Amino acid sequence: MTPQDTIRIFDTTLRDGEQSPGCSMTPQQKVVMARALAELGVDIIETGFPASSESDREAAKLIAREIRTPTLAVLSRCLPADIEASARALEGTANPRLHIFISTSPLHREHKLRMSRQQVLDLAAASVEHARRLVDDVEFSTEDGTRTEEDFLAEVIGAAIAGGAGTINVPDTLGYTTPEEMRGLFQRLIATVPGARDVIFSAHCHDDLGLAVANSLAAIEGGARQVECTVNGIGERAGNCAIEELAMALKVRNAFYDIDTRLDTRLLVPTSQLLSRLTGMQVQRNKAIVGDNAFAHESGIHQHGMLRHRGTYEIMNPSDVGWPDSKLVLGRHSGRAAVGHRLRALGYTLEDAQIDQVFAAFKALCEQQRVVDDDDLEALMQGDLHGQGWRLASMTVSDRGQRASAQVELSAPDGTRVSESALGDGPVDALFAALAAATGVELSLQSYQVHSVGIGRDARGEANLGVRHESAPGRSCDYEGSGTSRDIIEASALAWLDVANRILRTRAPQPVAASA
Ligand code: KIV
Ligand code: ZN
């Protein structure tokens, strides 16, 4: 495959992604993310919009200091001051690109720019020439390009090519276009605009109708050889084309598209998780490729199929995108085959009758909790899932006065009752402090999420905790736990105790019911 035959990935996580609500990053965080993007193998990293903030200027400088291989781009309006600020921000960059844009659609011309077609055309041409005098590699974007009259779009693009732009980006800024339209538009522009075959055409698709990836793929079919993406699809409003989805569509359906990216797709999941950690913006569980459920199977029929041949329910290998393996999630929908398989993986050799027994206990447990993990299975094998551990007997939490207070009564693993109370900065803080005092278990909270399960009067609150626990000086482990209740504070207490009991089980000696 020649370089001409690959899709250049222009990553705009640090610019279009970062400018969206909930995704802002400090310059130092951007450097960490830029390192990961370079490792992932993106061709171009857009680091920011220097004229917009000091923080973007600093990020561009810091990233340029250590990232030498991918091209580093910065964004600029078609304004002399912006272009000069961008060129300054690119000083010292090994492979700099100046990316300039102007709106071309009638709506933007009239209401945003208050300019005529001729004015937009002249400004675009002059700005590309200005940028080219400062930097060799210039990309030109027609903002709201897909809602622009096609003859005018072609005219502006022709002027930008004549002015020296090496990359022409046609954004679907509003995520309005359909794949069919996108394919046709790129085909016609590349076939008719003078000089189009000597430059790279690029697609930049937003996801307002959930079509960003489909439209980017259609642009590729139409001749685009650069796609602008973000990790996890973050970006303005509904976001941009998700890098992980585009890359895997090209890889998995390579026989159809006959073109690929240069990405090391095994780094897609770690890169996605890094971005979530840096921004605090989690991806939905069922997000393609990088969501927790992307390779998880719970239904008995699917698990059975997976155990026979993974191709029955998976079109790609989880390790190709950076997951350790598929997950056969054990829950209410799981069958005996999957439970038996998991027990064997945990080292238990069981007779059929024993599996039946454990499976019955497993089903009963599924009535109380949504997911049964390895710790729970171990506990089932030891017959102590509910016999041991800390149980909540009662609790009161009050948030009146200066500090919140909580009082808990627990039933201890040995059956005795323990009561403790504590103050905290809020009800949950006080509650967790009281639980720590009662159990003597110290947990350092890493994540805490509460959401509702079900709707209307039947809705219940589910709390999920991620904690770090130091089992010995210098030796800490991460645990997760969950709890459900009609009351979210009580769900939080149950989640906390779920974690504490998991820790207790890992400390307890391991009697086994069968040979392990
Ligand atoms: O969506 C868009 O049109 C953009 C351009 C500035 C490239 O982000
Ligand atoms: Zn955009």
pLDDT digits (tens, 9 = 90+) for 69-117: 999 999 999 999 999 999 999 999 999 999 999 999 999 999 999 999 9
Q: pLDDT band at 364, cuts 50/70/90?
A: confident
Q: pLDDT band at 399, cuts 50/70/90?
A: confident
Nearest CA to ligand 1 atom 2: 173
Give all domains of the chain, ordered by start, each with its CATH number: 3-279 (3.20.20.70), 296-379 (no CATH), 391-507 (3.30.160.270)
CA distance 481 to 497: 8
Ligand 1 centre to CA of 236 (Å) is: 9
**4-13, 356-365, 460-469, 486-495: range with lowest mean pLDDT:** 460-469
Ligand 1 neighbour 228 (Cβ under 6 A):
no
Is 70 exceeded by the pLDDT of residue 4?
A: no
Residue 511's Cβ-count burial label (10 Å; 0-12, 13-18, 19+) is exposed
- Quick one: pLDDT at residue 482? 82
Residue 150's Cβ-count burial label (10 Å; 0-12, 13-18, 19+) is middle
Q: What average pLDDT score do residues 208-223 get?
A: 98
- 172 forms beta bridges with 205
Ligand 1 neighbour 172 (Cβ under 6 A):
no
CA distance 389 to 413: 4
Ligand 1 neighbour 16 (Cβ under 6 A):
yes
Q: pLDDT band at 400, cuts 50/70/90?
A: confident
Q: pLDDT digit string (tens) for 140-195? A: 999 999 999 999 999 999 999 999 999 999 999 999 999 999 999 999 999 999 99
- Quick one: pLDDT at residue 434? 96
Taking CA 382 as the corner, what is the angle to CA 378 and CA 385, rounded to the nearest 5 degrees?
Answer: 75
CA distance 300 to 297: 8
CA distance 433 to 443: 10
Nearest CA to ligand 1 atom 1: 173
Is 50 exceeded by the pLDDT of residue 422?
A: yes
Contact yes or no for 311/325 (Cβ under 8 A): no
From 15, 138, 167, 206, give the residue whose CB has the most ligand 1 atoms within 8 Å, as the site to mutate.
206
**336-350, 375-389, 452-466, 483-497: range with lowest mean pLDDT:** 375-389
From 56, 77, 173, give the residue whose CB has the most ligand 1 atoms within 8 Å, as the site to mutate.
173
Ligand 1 neighbour 99 (Cβ under 6 A):
no
